[in-house]
């Protein structure tokens, strides 16, 4: 097949220096998928630090019983803002950011399908985030009550109704999350359109990298499940401003309706959040094990299956609302079934490593941490899916430990693996492996030290979202250990931040393909030019660079 020739502008021979206002303008007015992707990632990391500081304050508060570091009102705002930030302002922009940066590069495209929609998505997301945080200043409203929202990230009705939540704090929550959701929907539409229409010649769906497949399924999920949340938030705003009674139980509204609408979004949401990590592992493990991903069709099928099944499990968050035994059993069964495709993924990643020559670069170490920790998270997830066991564990610290194992032990470890892997491509500089190892070990030890003990606190009856507790209930030591772990995590993150700053300033030059990798993003320069590829690549298999590097044994012979 002949490659398509475009008339190309050559890059300027010596890029001139830009003044601050010029480069600011370049960033603010950009429609380049790479710059937008980077801005998504940087905003996510900034919000990660903010929400991480909030978590640290909460852990300090809970380190000892009867602590008075922060009062109940402050604490409730902290966990509301921590949860909301982590889900909507860290997890979601990571999804959008990774998809934005990598999908066009991996499918050999010059940009996303709708570059201006892409810019709109980023800025509306950022606006939503700023709006949410503005509540600290403006949340008191005319009635002088409250500041930031204190209704939990799940914002259960009727606690969010005017009767129980005065002032404007809950409105900031609903509006901030609503508009940042528009950004996620815009980005999802863009990813789907890009995957469908901008694949380079020869890149059939079957040859699309697993990462791109995962992000495609992810985008579909966002498109299907975010609108119910937006609808629920609009209904809540109607309740609060126009006297509607959707969730207003004092006028016959339904508290359970909110839960259905929230969790039909909320449960698929956790898969939406974890998928970028799934995609990352599917790219990183093969490169460092030097083997193709084991069972490619099954890996893609498993992601599609998780996407489908995840739409039918939401009420496992509601086992305690007094559903019939049939409903409880149905949602328990559906939830456990998710374990099957998830298991396939873990087995196939392991099988990819099996028989390889594993190079433990920092990126690969994060992948291994992911595998073991996500295994724990999956198994505690099975326990929670068993409805009668969940009646005990629900809303206890066991659940807190479980989902932090999925979202830190899984997602955050996966994202770090991705950052260490793709940082050279994005900046043209290598991250330091020595600092990276410090980062990995400190963070890994700290994370486990924090979250393993919380399982036990939960099994001893410690409920979530309490700002303090009395001595003598068996929770003190677990909580103290958990708080000690936070210091290790902070030290790990400090190593990471220092590593990034050092490497951007004076890191080793990366070259185009530092990992000897096989997908298209490594075929262009580091960092890639604005147009990504001078000539659109033509591919014949799922590992185009392998084919180039091994002309005597190309993949397309086996496809």
Partner 1 sequence: MLALAALAWLQSPTPALTEHRIANIFKPLASPAESEYQIALFSFVITGAIFVAVAGLIIYTMVRFRRRRDDDTRQEPPQVYGSNQIEAAWTVIPILIVFVLIGVTARVVASVENASPPASTVKLTLIGHQWWWEVQYPDFGVVTANEIHVPVSRDGAHTATYLQLESVDVIHSFWVPQLSGKTDLIPNRDNFLWIDPREPGVYLGNCAEYCGTQHANMLLRVIAEERSDFERWAAEQRRPAEQDGQIGEARATFESLSCVNCHTVKGTAAAGKFGPDLTHLMSRQTLGAGVLANTGANLRAWVNDPQQSKPGCFMPSMKLTDRELDQVVAYLQTLK
Looking at the Cβ atoms of 39 and 353, the one nearer to partner 1 is 353
- Binding residues for partner 1, rule CB under 8 A, total 93
CB of 557 to partner 1, least distance (A): 11
Looking at the Cβ atoms of 231 and 337, the one nearer to partner 1 is 337
CB of 368 to partner 1, least distance (A): 6
- Secondary structure (3-state) at 8: coil
Residues 46-65, interacting with partner 1 (CB under 8 A):
none
CB of 281 to partner 1, least distance (A): 12
Residues 452-511, interacting with partner 1 (CB under 8 A):
459-461, 463-469, 472-474
3-state secondary structure 483-538: HHHHHHHHHHHHHHHHHHHHHHHHCCECCCCCCCCCCHHHHCCCCCCCCCCCCCCC
The answer to whether 47 and 89 have CB atoms below 8 angstroms apart is: yes
Looking at the Cβ atoms of 9 and 553, the one nearer to partner 1 is 553
Provide the mask over 160-199, with x wherever binding to partner 1 is found by CB under 8 A and - wherever it is not.
Answer: ---xx-----------------------------------
Residues 363-392, interacting with partner 1 (CB under 8 A):
368, 371-372, 375-376, 379-380, 382-383, 385-392
Structure tokens at 361: 């670069």
Q: Residue 145: how many CB atoms within 10 A of its CB? A: 13
Provide the mask over 322-351, with x wherever binding to partner 1 is found by CB under 8 A and - wherever it is not.
Answer: x-xx--xx--xx--xx-xx--xx-xxx-xx
| Three-point CA angle 176, 179, 182, nearest 5° | 150
Structure tokens at 228: 């119910």
Site membership for partner 1, residue 18 (CB under 8 A): no
Looking at the Cβ atoms of 46 and 460, the one nearer to partner 1 is 460
CB of 388 to partner 1, least distance (A): 4
The answer to whether 68 and 128 have CB atoms below 8 angstroms apart is: no
Piece of the chain touching partner 1 by CB under 8 A; list 10-18, 71-79, 167-175, 271-279: 71-79
Residues 198-257, interacting with partner 1 (CB under 8 A):
249-250, 252-256
Site membership for partner 1, residue 358 (CB under 8 A): yes
Q: Which residues of 378-388 are buried (b: 16+ CB within 10 A; e: fewer)?
A: bebbeebbebe
The answer to whether 500 and 38 have CB atoms below 8 angstroms apart is: no
475 to each of 3, 43, 60, 403, 507, how far by Cα in Å?
Answer: 66, 36, 14, 19, 46
Looking at the Cβ atoms of 237 and 383, the one nearer to partner 1 is 383
Rama region for 476: left / alpha / beta (φ>0; ψ in -120 to 50; rest): alpha
- Residue corresponding to tokens 């309740």: 239
Looking at the Cβ atoms of 222 and 306, the one nearer to partner 1 is 306
CB of 316 to partner 1, least distance (A): 11
Looking at the Cβ atoms of 129 and 149, the one nearer to partner 1 is 149
């Amino acid at each position: 097949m002949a490659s398509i020739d475009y008339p190309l502008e050559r890059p300027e021979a010596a890029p001139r220096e830009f003044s601050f206002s010029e480069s600011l303008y370049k960033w603010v007015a950009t429609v380049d998928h790479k710059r937008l992707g980077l801005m998504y990632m940087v905003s996510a990391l900034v919000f990660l630090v903010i929400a991480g500081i909030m978590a640290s304050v909460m852990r300090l508060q809970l380190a000892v019983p009867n602590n008075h570091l922060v009062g109940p009102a402050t604490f409730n705002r902290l966990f509301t803002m921590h949860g909301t930030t982590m889900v909507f302002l860290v997890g979601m922009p990571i999804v959008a950011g990774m998809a934005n940066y990598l999908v066009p590069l991996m499918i050999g495209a010059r940009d996303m399908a709708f570059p201006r929609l892409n810019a709109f998505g980023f800025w509306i997301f950022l606006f939503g985030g700023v709006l949410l945080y503005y509540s600290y200043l403006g949340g008191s409203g005319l009635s002088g009550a409250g500041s930031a929202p204190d209704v939990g990230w799940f914002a259960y009705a009727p606690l969010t109704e005017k009767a129980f939540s005065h002032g404007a704090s809950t409105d900031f929550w609903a509006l901030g999350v609503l508009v940042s959701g528009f950004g996620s929907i815009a980005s999802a539409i863009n990813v789907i359109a890009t995957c469908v229409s901008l694949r380079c010649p020869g890149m059939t769906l079957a040859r699309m990298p697993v990462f791109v497949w995962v992000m495609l399924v992810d985008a579909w999920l966002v498109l299907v499940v975010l609108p119910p949340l937006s609808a629920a938030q609009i209904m809540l705003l109607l309740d609060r401003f126009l006297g509607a009674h959707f969730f207003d139980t004092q006028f016959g509204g339904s508290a359970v309706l909110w839960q259905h609408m929230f969790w039909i979004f909320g449960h698929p949401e956790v898969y939406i959040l974890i998928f970028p990590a799934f995609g990352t592992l599917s790219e990183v493990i093969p490169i460092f094990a030097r083997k193709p991903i084991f069972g490619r069709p099954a890996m893609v099928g498993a992601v599609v299956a998780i996407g489908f099944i995840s739409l039918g499990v939401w009420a496992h968050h509601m086992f305690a609302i007094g559903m019939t035994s049939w409903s409880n059993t149905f949602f328990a069964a559906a939830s456990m079934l998710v374990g099957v495709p998830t298991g396939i993924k873990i087995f196939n990643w392991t099988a990819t490593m099996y028989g390889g020559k594993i190079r433990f670069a920092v990126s690969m170490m994060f992948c291994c941490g992911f595998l073991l920790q996500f295994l724990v998270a999956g198994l505690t997830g099975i326990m929670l899916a068993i409805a009668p066991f969940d009646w005990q564990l629900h809303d206890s610290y066991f659940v807190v430990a479980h989902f932090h194992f999925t979202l830190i032990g899984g997602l955050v470890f996966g994202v770090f693996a991705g950052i260490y892997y793709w940082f050279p491509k994005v900046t043209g500089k290598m991250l330091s492996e020595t600092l990276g190892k410090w980062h990995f070990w400190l963070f890994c030890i700290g994370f486990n030290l924090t979250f393993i003990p919380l399982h036990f606190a939960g099994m001893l009856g410690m409920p979530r979202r309490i700002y303090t507790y009395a001595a003598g209930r068996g929770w003190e030591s677990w909580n103290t250990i958990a708080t000690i772990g936070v210091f290790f995590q902070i030290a790990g993150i400090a190593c990471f931040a220092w590593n990034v700053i050092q490497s951007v300033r004076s890191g080793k030059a990366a070259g185009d393909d530092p990992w000897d990798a096989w997908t298209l993003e490594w075929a262009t320069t580091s960092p890639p030019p604005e147009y990504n590829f001078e000539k659109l690549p033509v591919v014949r298999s799922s590992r185009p660079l392998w084919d180039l590097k091994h002309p005597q044994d190309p993949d397309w012979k086996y496809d």
